[in-house]
């Protein structure tokens, strides 16, 4: 886990490409948060997330003031509030560009199928979860999250979304969508990737209305940008070969090595031992917070 401020990264992304985003230093009161989101025209539901964290830790969709109050009382670090982007398609796009190249490349597109169950007209949501190989792993958490939903009987073919966060460890299925990569998509992603100072390697997590709109650069919002610690997530497609996954990872690590060397030749220094030690101390602190939750 590398310690990166999500706020610092989001600040690099042009405003029109990201959700409305507010940052609050710990400890922030609920009243302060409500005042600021109201002034910015942000309405419930909202997405709340810690400024530091990974793999969906403490990222939540907050429906109302009471849920916000409970969330804020649990969080012990700086907080980010984003408007909720209600667009149907979520993808992760992995992009890289060597510093001496004029144009970047897309090496991975991952579709995200959020954790859900589908009704059969007779089973309760709890029963459907127990019969779902992926959802049943989250049963204890889902029972706490959806107490009033567990005994609901959805109609036949009715989709019930269980977790609105597109993260693998929160039950999301990652789908290989490399079939959508073409020159137009690379041009679009390259056009906004090059606006981000010093960015050469990482994954954009994007919501959009549909794939074609994404190709054209229309109706898209960048939810997060993950740097060197990110992965080309299509390798987690169900049934994918572990040998192929390692091949893909080794390819990306080789690219990352080339970028680091090129940047060093261009005058960017490597982190010092002191910087490494300070990063390790931060890591231990946030790891302790995560365990104590």
Same domain for 238 and 97? yes
* Range 133-147 average pLDDT: 91
Give a yes or no: residue 59 inside a domain: yes
Q: Is residue 77 located within the same domain as residue 134?
A: no
Residue 111: strand pairing partners: 91, 175
Does one domain contain both 26 and 171? no
| pLDDT higher at 286 or 107 | 107
Same-domain pairing of 275 and 197? yes
Give residue 3's pLDDT. Answer: 63
The band of 289, judged by pLDDT with boundaries at 50, 70 and 90, is low
The predicted model gives 73-90 an average pLDDT of 93
- pLDDT bin (cut points 50, 70, 90) of residue 282 is confident
Looking at the domain assignment, is residue 150 inside a domain? yes
Point out which residues pair with 201 in neighbouring strands: 96
Domain co-membership, 106 together with 225: yes
The model's confidence at residue 5, banded by pLDDT at 50, 70 and 90, is confident
Domain end marker among 135, 162, 189: 162
- Residue 138 and residue 233 in one domain: no
For residue 199, being part of any structural domain is answered with yes
Instruction: CATH number of the domain at 25, please.
Output: 3.30.1490.20
With a cut of 90, say whether residue 272 has pLDDT above it.
no
Residue 181's CATH number: 3.30.470.20
Tell me, yes or no, whether 131 and 93 share the same domain: no
Q: Are residues 157 and 170 in the same domain?
A: no
Domain that holds residue 71: 20-84
Specify whether 74 is located in the same domain as 30.
Answer: yes
By percentage, how much of the chain surpasses pLDDT 70? Answer: 96
- 125 shares a domain with 184: no
In a domain, 74, yes or no: yes
- Give the pLDDT score at 1: 41
Could you give the number of structural domains in the chain? 3
What is the distance of C-alpha 227 from the center of its chain?
Answer: 12
Could you tell me if residue 38 is inside a domain? yes
Do both 234 and 186 map to the same domain? yes
Do residue 95 and residue 188 come from a single domain? yes
pTM for the complete prediction? 0.89
Structural domain contains residue 291: no
pLDDT exceeds cutoff 80 at 136 = yes
Is 125 a domain residue? yes
Mean pLDDT, residues 210-214 = 93
**Does residue 6 belong to any structural domain of this protein?**
no
Taking residues 236-250, report their average pLDDT.
97
């Amino acid at each position: 886990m590398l310690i990166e401020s999500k706020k610092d990264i989001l600040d690099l992304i042009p405003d029109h490409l990201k959700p409305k985003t507010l940052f609050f230093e710990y400890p922030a009161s609920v009243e302060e948060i409500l005042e600021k989101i109201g002034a910015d025209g942000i309405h419930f539901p909202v997405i709340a997330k810690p400024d530091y964290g990974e793999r969906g830790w403490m990222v939540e969709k907050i429906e109302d003031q009471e849920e916000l109050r409970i969330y804020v009382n649990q969080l012990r670090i700086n907080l980010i509030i984003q408007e909720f982007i209600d667009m149907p398609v979520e993808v992760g796009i992995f992009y890289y560009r060597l510093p001496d190249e004029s144009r970047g490349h897309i090496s991975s597109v991952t579709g995200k199928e959020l954790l859900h169950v589908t009704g059969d007209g007779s089973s309760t949501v709890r029963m459907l979860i127990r019969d779902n190989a992926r959802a049943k792993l989250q049963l204890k958490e889902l029972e706490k999250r959806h107490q009033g939903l567990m005994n609901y009987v959805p109609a036949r073919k009715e989709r019930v979304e269980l977790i609105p966060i597109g993260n693998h460890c929160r039950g999301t299925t990652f789908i290989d969508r490399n079939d959508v990569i073409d020159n137009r998509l690379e041009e679009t992603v390259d056009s906004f990737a090059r606006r981000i100072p010093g960015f050469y390697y990482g994954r954009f997590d994007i919501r959009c209305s549909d794939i074609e709109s994404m190709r054209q650069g229309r109706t898209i919002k960048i939810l997060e940008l993950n740097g060197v610690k990110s992965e080309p997530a299509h390798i987690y497609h169900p049934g994918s070969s572990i040998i192929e996954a390692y091949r893909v990872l080794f390819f990306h690590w080789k690219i990352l090595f080339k970028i680091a060397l090129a940047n060093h030749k261009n005058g960017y220094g490597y982190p010092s031992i002191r910087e490494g030690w300070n990063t390790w101390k931060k890591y231990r602190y946030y790891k302790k917070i995560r365990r104590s939750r």
